[in-house]
Amino acid sequence: MPDEEPTDADVVETAAAAAEGAVFDHYRKAEVKDLDVTVSFEDGQLSVDIYLNPADGTDPDPDEVVETAVDAAEAAVDGLFAAGA
């Protein structure tokens, strides 16, 4: 019996958790004023949109953290599909 592919909900949850985890690998929760991670997975297409507003003067650069978080989300989804193969 072939392994089942992950559901769309599994993909979205996995990507969102990975993105959020990547952000908090760089910032403490107290350093983040606002974080919005929006993930969709439709017709095999993953879309990850992240809005990050860290406290003033916080390092590292938020744009770099967002890029890292998007990469983490994509890698987590790739891993999810590879595990089901």
- pTM, two decimals, is 0.92
Provide the pLDDT confidence category of residue 1 given band limits of 50, 70 and 90.
Answer: very low
Distances (CA, A) of 48 to 10, 34, 52, 58, 73: 14, 17, 13, 23, 8
For residue 3, what pLDDT is reported?
Answer: 66
Residue written as token pair 């595990």: 83
pLDDT above 90: residue 84: no
Domains of the chain: 8-84 (3.30.300.100)
pLDDT in tens, 17-66: 999 999 999 999 999 999 999 999 999 999 999 999 999 988 999 999 99
